[in-house]
Amino acid sequence: MRSASIAAALALAPWALCAEQRPLSNLSRPQRSADAPAYREELLGLHKSLVSIESITGNENEVGAFLVDYLTTKGYTADLQFVAPRGGTPEGRERFNVLAWHGGQRPNPRVVVSSHMDVVPPHIPYGIEHGAVTKDTVIKGRGSVDAKGSVAAMVVALDRLLAAEAVNGEDVMLLFVVGEEVSGDGMRAFSDSLAGMDPPPRFDAVIFGEPTENKLACGHKGGLFCDVTARGLPGHSGYPWLGKSANELMVRAMARILDADLGSTELFGNTTVNVGRFEGGVAANVIPEHAFVKMAARVAIGPEAEGAKIVRRKMQAIFDDIDDEAFTFDCTHGYGSVETNCNVPDFETVVVNYGTDIPILKGDHTRYLYGPGTILVAHGARENLTVGDLETAVEGYQKLILHALKQ
């Protein structure tokens, strides 16, 4: 553990002066009821503290420092893995992944349990329904589902297994990363660090926490994330034949792409495209010279290393067919469909359409994807889940950890 680094990070954390965000002492109503597990208060307190700390991508310092403090007071060894700042990182604040385990020196764990600390904007304060807390009580707030629900449930699940002496502390490592919501730079830093070790560690399994409705995912679609620019020739809108409309070119291209067969499979369905941002032109009576689109494809085809490249080639062919000189097509990153292990007893299964850090972490480990809440409310104004969702996840993560250790 790099104690000097941890101390410096904690010194930068204003949450440390705010009693409301301490993990266990701030719940204003009785937590125990007939259906309450013994860990309910611990779980809800941790979840509340995490959701209450704003951690939009780039600004994860406070939530990371909170987790380091929380885990070390519970007997974990914690290490900080620093990640480069990005837009949104306050001056003087470090970004870092949190690695934690029970034991002394950094172990070579058999199982890694991982989720992400960052969230999408805007920050939405924590809230919980009034009245006695039951399994049906609704909790809301940014990150309550994606993915601080997974973080809280993972910590409590491992705590319970350690307390019962059901696992060896050095066999399981917690890994909470930054940057998942934008580019995966936190997981990329972790993966790159492994490649630099001699010999590189080998994990039997990695359990990734994302909202899957507490079903075990058999995989998720890949992704392709691109910027498209169209260049035209400006002129008076009354004489369109004397110019070239960049907007018209872009509209025709996007319509073709949205209607095209970009690949499908029985497991993942169709490849879909979202035109997330469209800009072009300067005035209604001017033929637009420039048009710009940011787009994201959810890739239904594999293999993982090639699926996005196949989709990109199909899109490029459409641009070339419309105008082989007007378009610039740049993709920042992409990957094909991702398969994960869902052959575990007593779990319902699901396939999801969103992306994760799973393809970024290199290695031949078994991959599991599981977590509380539904993606259908994540990233939205009404992000929420129930107390029962969180408690079911604790039990699910315990089962997955034990299953992975037996393989």
Q: Give the helix/strand (H/E) hosting 339.
A: strand 338-339
Which residue among 62, 180, 210, 289 is the active-site one? 180
CA atoms within 13 A on the CB side of 351: 15
* Beta strand 111-116 pairing with 205-209: parallel
Residues in the chain: 407
Specify whether 391 is catalytic. Answer: no
Q: Are the C-beta atoms of 223 and 360 separated by less than 8 Å?
A: no
Contacts of 159 (CB under 8 A, 6+ apart): 39, 42, 74
Cα separation, 257 vs 250, whole angstroms? 10
What residues pair up with 139 in beta bridges, in sequence order?
128, 385
Q: Identify which of 271, 268, 273, 270 has the alpha carbon closest to the alpha carbon of residue 350.
A: 268
Distance CA 13, CA 1 (A): 19
Instruction: Tell me the catalytic residues.
Output: 180
